[in-house]
Amino acid sequence: MEDRMRRFATAEGWRSSQQALSQVPPPLFHNSAQLTGHVVFGQPTSSFEQLLNRPRRSAWREFLRAPCVFIARQIYVCQRRVPAEPLANPVSVVCISDTHDSQPTVPDGHVLVHAGHLTQSGTFGELQSTLSWLSSLPHKHKIVVGGNHDILLDVRRDDPAGQAGSRRGQLAWGDIIYLNDESTIVACSNGRRLNVYGSPKSPKHGNWAFQYLRSEDVWTGKMPQDLDILVTHGPPRAHLDLLNLGCVHLLRELWRTQQVLHVFGHVHEGYGSDWLNFDNIQQAYERVVISKGGMFNLLRVVKELIQSLFTPVKEARCRLYGGLQNQRRRIKLAVPKAYQPTCSDTPHPPNREPELHALECHLGITSCSVVAASLQPLRSSHHRQGRPSMPAPPSLPAGGDAPESSGKDDPGVVEVAEDGDVVLDVTFETSPETLKKSRQAALAANGGKLNPQPSPPGALKPTVKVAYRVSVAVLKRHSQYFSNLVSSPRFREAKLIDDTHKMLAARGVKPADADARDLPFIAIVDDDQATQAAGREHIFEDMLLIAHQKPPKTAKVDLSYAVTIAILADRFDCVGTVARSLNKELKFKWPLTNNRPFFDDRGRMTDVENVLRQKILSSWLLGQPMRLQQSTRELVIRGSSLWGAFHDDVEANTTAAAWWNLPEGIEQELRYRRECILDAIASIQRHFLDLYASRERQCKLGYDTSTACDAFQLGQLLKFLRSKELLFLVDYSPASLDAVPDTSQVDIEDLVANLKQCPNYQVDKHHTNCGPHLRIKAIMDYLRTMLSANVIWISHSDWKKRRAEVSWEAVKKSNRARDESGRAFAFTRAIANDQRLRYEGVLHADRMAMSLFTADTWDWTPEA
């Protein structure tokens, strides 16, 4: 508990005694902020005077409106709560919100947090004026989120002409850190790191910005597990939320993350502060508020209160600040005041204990809440302990339990490089769908039995956080992504590394010899949208080991591993280094897909296309040309579920992985090549149907029955194509379109084989060799040879170096540019009798295949 309080004490000068707590009026009813240090107020903007002067309901009206909720709130406020004991070296955090164009005097501190409502109307001028004022403040770190009045910052409200987006891009932010559903790491000058998450969202209340439906869950799983400070514009339900505008989903997320400090605004009547214990009585109270009463729920609050009287008092875990000060609330507040740290986090003088002083504060003469809080010394996420409800998993190495490679100074950091000078603090987020598939795969691999061995820490969890100690020089040498991140002044990570290294140098410590906790932590978030894989922390560690010229830990490699590490390497721009290692050292047997069907006996889609696409992506990224040729040809021949003319993306979650949209134009090129091949094959059927349906006689024998012979051959050809499902008749009825199937996954080789089976029927014994059979057979033989040409698949080197020359789409466009009528292909006797084309893989097949499949029109009997 002592270590826990060193980590989570949140109010400077507070003492963990009932005497200190008793001097502070309950914040939920007196709207008094439990302030520390300085409280400074300005004048309200004139346009908000009516809002600020509105009367507040009396206690009697509150009771009549919801008696159970009123009594539960009274009980909850009166419970025994002891604020966390402060340490000697707090971080001063100044919290403001709902300034609405005003610019009050703000106390000094290390971190300034603005929880939204920077402006009144959200115009460019208002925003720029507020940003300029915030930039001029002396605080080293300034963190800002938007509010529902800051309309210009909401991209969803942009006008069709894009003028709002253009104006938004012209805002001068200075040194302000703007958070829009994202997190950042704030490095204090004494080496502490604060993980801050900010969001401008609030439940819908009027037609404003950054709003969502009250029933919509936009919070679950969005925040990092090891959160220190949460900044939102809207409040959580039941806490500092007297107008019931808070969000239930945000409250549930607070139980999961249990951060040190939560700052918000929006609900003016909720001005004040609160402590959260995340215990049973808080849970019972929240249930009463959310369900809007209920005698049974109220009795549960009473029961929990009685039980708490006979249990030791727990120190508070989380501090809340919220609301807007109102002119009608002028009360005096006694708050504990202690020695104030400076902006540079100067620790308390030796042997000086915090003392309690009466500080007279006139609340309610401002349009904003200004609070100078203090945040106690924080360590990295793996030191977070003592959460009874939803404990954050410690950041362990990807290998599992307390590995040998862990740093001697910090067992929660993976030492990729023992002399590393930076720590990558990576959060791996995995969706429930991916976790479910991973569990099913693990169950199937184990013979349908549950694994008797315990899973390693972090395995198959929605959020896993792992810290890796690495060398900046190595990352810059092998990854352009990290080179830009840690070197470019445009990114705050570069400044964080430079400041921390300078601080270590001032202490006479080399970064390579420093403890991991003293190094700069670079926050990175990786989700599973592209990889659709769980356990990526292991593969990410292997990628870092390969970059540091060390052997990867994974011994057994499969296709899933290869495609995941290829995607990660592509994201962090170190594909070349990873590809060289995998192609030489980590060799494995690629799964065969050409002998497996796309659909099973019940008509359900198998995972064959998924595996085939993974082969294409990994072979492209890892530079394996032979496997790329084989897999791209197979996809062209067999087709894809995404390439249908009637394709409806109803399975967006299953097709969100990177291999379902192949990079570098490969997806479009493969689809275009298949369409060109199908057009060429379909032209054969159309040619002979038109031929026998025309007035020109095809039977050359000159008999009286020659006309009947042509009609007979036309009927037999129609009957054959219909029986083989190679032709579908459509009339003028709209319902007839339903008879046309989706041919996106028709196997081209099966199609050619079926056309070659065209029957050789005659109307009578005198019409020998009449009909299209012989001519179609010769065409199919030629077509089969063309399908074996090298131009069907994609060549790795050609696609990288001379894409415009080998792209079918580019070639066809250039042909049309030269000849507007299009390019025609004629199947002459010279081509039909060419003996070289009887065998697959001949030298001239590539050029002839390109000529055949990129043509605009086809004449299959030019010399008939």
The answer to whether 785 and 756 are in contact (CB under 8 A) is no
Under 8 Å CB-to-CB from 526, ≥6 apart: which residues? 426, 427, 428, 429, 536, 540, 568, 571
Crossing angle between the packed helical segments 625-638 and 666-693, to the nearest 10 degrees: 40
The answer to whether 2 and 311 are in contact (CB under 8 A) is no
Give, in order, the Cα–Cα distances in Å from 186 to each of 46, 110, 197, 330.
36, 10, 11, 35
HSE-up (13 A, CA, CB side) for residue 559:
17
Beta bridge partners of 186: 194
The answer to whether 193 and 348 are in contact (CB under 8 A) is no
795, with CB counted inside 10 A (0-12, 13-18, 19+), is: middle
Asked if pLDDT for residue 367 goes beyond 60, the answer is no
Q: What is the pLDDT at residue 519?
A: 92
Asked if pLDDT for residue 332 goes beyond 70, the answer is no
Q: How far is 218 from 213, CA to CA, in rounded Å?
A: 9
Q: Model confidence at 159, in pLDDT bands (50, 70, 90)?
A: low
Q: What are phi and psi of 594, to 5 degrees?
A: -70, -15
The answer to whether 786 and 852 are in contact (CB under 8 A) is yes
Asked if pLDDT for residue 666 goes beyond 70, the answer is yes
Q: What is the pLDDT at residue 157?
A: 78
Dump pLDDT digits (tens) for 820-849. 777 889 988 888 888 777 666 666 788 889
Q: Model confidence at 329, in pLDDT bands (50, 70, 90)?
A: very low
Strand order in the sheet with 413-415: 413-415, 463-470, 422-429, 521-527
Asked if pLDDT for residue 617 goes beyond 50, the answer is yes
Nearest to 424 by CA among 189, 185, 179: 185
Under 8 Å CB-to-CB from 270, ≥6 apart: which residues? 31, 235, 240, 241, 242, 243, 322, 323
SS3 content of the chain, % helix, strand, coil (to 5): 40, 10, 50
Q: Model confidence at 1, in pLDDT bands (50, 70, 90)?
A: very low
Dump pLDDT digits (tens) for 220-268. 888 887 888 999 988 888 887 766 778 888 888 888 888 888 898 887 6
Q: How far is 353 from 339, CA to CA, in rounded Å?
A: 8
Residues 770-784, buried b or exposed e (16+ Cβ, 10 A)? bbbbebbeebbebbb
Q: Mean pLDDT over residues 283-305, rounded? A: 78
CATH classification of 414-441+460-589, choosing from 3.30.70.2190, 3.30.70.270, 3.30.710.10, 3.30.70.2740? 3.30.710.10
Give the CA angle between residues 731, 736, 740 to the nearest 5°. Answer: 110
- Classify domain 82-279+314-333 by CATH architecture: 4-Layer Sandwich (3.60)
Percentage of the chain lying above the pLDDT 70 cut? 75
The count of residues in the chain is 864
Under 8 Å CB-to-CB from 549, ≥6 apart: which residues? none
Neighbouring CB atoms inside 10 A of 747's CB total: 14
The answer to whether 639 and 670 are in contact (CB under 8 A) is no
Q: What is the pLDDT at residue 24?
A: 33
Q: What is the pLDDT at residue 313?
A: 67
Percentage of the chain lying above the pLDDT 90 cut? 24
Q: Mean pLDDT over residues 330-352, rounded? A: 30
Beta bridge partners of 198: 182, 231
Q: What is the pLDDT at residue 576?
A: 92
Q: How far is 87 from 5, CA to CA, in rounded Å?
A: 8
User: Identity (one letter) of the amino acid at 32?
Assistant: S
Q: How many helices (H) and strands (E) does the chain have?
A: 29, 21
Q: What is the pLDDT at residue 481?
A: 92
Q: Model confidence at 399, in pLDDT bands (50, 70, 90)?
A: very low
Under 8 Å CB-to-CB from 532, ≥6 apart: which residues? 434, 437, 656, 657
Q: What is the pLDDT at residue 296?
A: 75
Q: What is the pLDDT at residue 709?
A: 87
* Alpha helical stretches, state H, 646-762: 666-693, 706-723, 748-755
Q: How far is 122 from 128, CA to CA, in rounded Å?
A: 10
Q: Long-range contacts: 362-365, Cβ < 8 Å, 24+? A: 362/41, 362/330, 362/332, 363/31, 363/32, 363/33, 363/271, 363/325, 363/329, 363/330, 363/331, 363/333, 364/325, 364/326, 364/327, 364/328, 364/329, 364/330, 365/41, 365/43, 365/44, 365/325, 365/327, 365/330
Give the CA angle between residues 625, 476, 588 to the nearest 5°. Answer: 30
Q: What is the pLDDT at residue 133?
A: 92
Asked if pLDDT for residue 344 goes beyond 50, the answer is no
Nearest to 809 by CA among 675, 682, 684, 679: 675
- CA 513 to mean position of chain CA atoms: 35
Q: Tokens 């969502």 belong to which residue?
A: 212
Give, in order, the Cα–Cα distances in Å from 674 to each of 612, 632, 796.
16, 11, 18
Q: What's the whole-model pTM score?
A: 0.55
Nearest to 521 by CA among 197, 87, 188: 188
Give the CA angle between residues 118, 121, 127 to the nearest 5°. Answer: 45
- CA 87 to mean position of chain CA atoms: 37
Q: How far is 563 from 613, CA to CA, in rounded Å?
A: 10
356, with CB counted inside 10 A (0-12, 13-18, 19+), is: middle
Residues of the chain with CATH 3.30.710.10: 414-441+460-589
Residues 537-556, buried b or exposed e (16+ Cβ, 10 A)? bbbbbbbbbbbbeeebebee
Dump pLDDT digits (tens) for 17-41. 323 323 333 333 233 233 333 333 3
